[in-house]
Each structure stands twice: as C-alpha cells, then as structure tokens.
Amino acid sequence: MTVMLGLRGVTLAKAVTRYGRLLTRAFTSSYPKPYTVPEGPWGTNRAARLELAAAYRGLDHLGMNEGVVNHLSVMAPRADGGDGKVMLVFPQGIHWQEVTASNLVGIDSEAKTVEGEGSPETTASCIHLSIHKMRAGTKVVMHCHPPYTTALASLEDFELRMVSQNSLRYWNRVAYDRCYQGVAYAFEEGERMARILGDKDILMLANHGAITVASTVSAAFHNLYFLERAAMVQMLGMATGNKMVEVPEEVKRSMSTPYLKKEQTYADDFFYSIYRLMQKYQPDFEN
C-alpha cells in the first residue's frame, strides 16, 4: 500500500528518507489538551473532573463498561481549596453516559461526600479508596469488567501471554489476584487487592475483571483499553485451538524500555483523541 503524506505527493518510504527528522518530531509530539482551566485548586479539580468524565464516556463508547457498578476514580485537590484531597468518582445510580464533570462526587478518606450530590456505590469506595491510600504515586484507578479481559480472568490459567504487540507492553507489569473473595463490600477487600497489586500497573482479578492504576487519566485509560485488546487477541487465538507463539525473551526486553519512554505520549494522544470525539458527539460531558 502506498501511503500519501501530503508532502508534495511523496510516498511514505521516500518521505522517511527525505524528511526523517521532521516525521520523528511530528510522531512524538502531542496535540494540545482540548480544554483549558485556571491555575489553582479549583482549576486542578476542574481538569480532573473534565478528564474523568471524558474517561467514563469514552470507555463506555469503546464498549468497556458493564451496567452501572464499574468505576473510575481520580484524586484531586478540593475545589474550595480546603485541606486534604477528594477522590472523584461517579455517584451511584447513573449510567456512564450520564456522567458529567459537575455530577461527579468528591469523597474524603472516610468515604464521606464533601463535593457534589449523592455518594458512590459501596464497592467503589472500598476498592478505590484502599488502592489510592496504599499505592503511593497513584492518582487514577480504573476498574471494569470488559468482556475479553473478564473471560480471560475466568480461566484457570489467566496470565496474559506475551503473544502480541498489545500484550508486550504489559511485560512484567501485571499482578494476579487468583483468589476471588466475592463482591468487595469491605475496605479490607480493597486493601487485599492493593497488597496484591504492589508496584504493578495492572491487577487481573480472577472471576471478576481488571484494575489499572496510573498517575494520569490518559495512562490508566490507555492501559485499560489495550489490556482488553491484548486479552481479545489471546482469547481469539486460543479459541482456534492452534498453539500461540510466544515472543522471544530478548524481544520483550528490547522493546520494554523504549516503549515505556513513549507510553505517556501514546496515552495522551489516544485519550485526548477520544476526549475530542466526546466533545463532538457527547458535548454535555463537560457540563
């Protein structure tokens, strides 16, 4: 296939040769963020609300949500500039397509609502608050039950296999909770999950789903989406009954560091593209 770049009609191969440095710079740069907020606690809180609302809408758009009890959360400064932080999360009883920046609730470390109306579903508080408390540096926790990830997590052997480019990005970054304990109605269950997660970025939950954690909304969003894509490739490949080919160890190692250096850029590019889609098709999320 010949790819035209609009560079006076040259082909991709010729353009790489002729404009190699230019192409590289363009590839590694991101579009500006699709919103602006003022400096200070209110602005930082508002930015977190905008991004979290876009994440709810975007992941629902991508088929990652189930029902109304999957949850995404972000830690943010209190909008009123008060002491401590709030965990922003959606209130119980609404659909992800109804989430807006302003109807997200902020709860304190005791799960008491201090911003907005309503309160989160119990398991949201138990899982998310526990991970935010126990995992240093985490600002964002995303938990859902996407179909391929959850199907994989229901298998006796549910390790993510290094059989595709999508899964390679998670090499040595996944923890496995192999002991499903029922619906997480207690903080102790969230704390147990947080201990198993440790310093990994992803927790696969047996018989349940998955959790991603990150310091940015875009990174958690990106990792949750591509985890599902990696699980899809693995499940579809396994369903053929043919043997899947593991990527050699040296390739895993050689890819890991260069990829991780670029991951935040990839994550920003993907998440903010979805953000712009939501601005176009579901603009009320910014209300």
Report in angstroms how near the CB of residue 92 gets to Zn ion at its nearest. Answer: 14
Report in angstroms how near the CB of residue 145 gets to Zn ion at its nearest. Answer: 6
Q: Which is nearer to Zn ion, 7 or 196 (CB)?
A: 196
Report in angstroms how near the CB of residue 165 gets to Zn ion at its nearest. Answer: 28
Q: Which is nearer to Zn ion, 177 or 286 (CB)?
A: 177
Which of these ranges, 44-52, 153-161, 208-216, 256-264, lies near Zn ion under the rule CB under 5 A? 208-216
Give me the DSSP letters along 184-207.
--SHHHHHHHHHHHTT-SEEEETT
Q: Which is nearer to Zn ion, 121 or 263 (CB)?
A: 121
Q: Which is nearer to Zn ion, 91 or 209 (CB)?
A: 209
Q: Which is nearer to Zn ion, 52 or 142 (CB)?
A: 142
At residue 45, the 3 state secondary structure works out as: helix
Report in angstroms how near the CB of residue 150 gets to Zn ion at its nearest. Answer: 9
Q: Which is nearer to Zn ion, 189 or 269 (CB)?
A: 189
**In the range 170-199, which residues lie near Zn ion by CB under 5 A?**
none
Report in angstroms how near the CB of residue 68 gets to Zn ion at its nearest. Answer: 12
Tokens of 254: 């050689």
How far, in Å, are 27, 57, 64, 77, 174 from residue 52 at the CA level? 26, 9, 15, 14, 23
d(CA 255, CA 158): 23
Using CB atoms, what's the residue nearest to Zn ion? Answer: 209
Beta strands in 42-134 (DSSP E): 71-77, 85-89, 105-107, 113-115
Q: Do 227 and 234 contact (CB within 8 A), yes or no?
A: no
At residue 71, the 3 state secondary structure works out as: strand
Beta-carbon contacts of residue 23 (< 8 Å; ≥ 6 apart): 15, 16
Which of these ranges, 34-42, 108-116, 203-211, 277-285, lies near Zn ion under the rule CB under 5 A? 203-211
Which of these ranges, 93-101, 171-179, 194-202, 205-213, lies near Zn ion under the rule CB under 5 A? 205-213
Number of residues that bind Zn ion (CB under 5 A): 1
Q: Hey, what amino acid is at 231? A: A
d(CA 50, CA 217): 10
The residue ranges that bind Zn ion (CB under 5 A) are 209
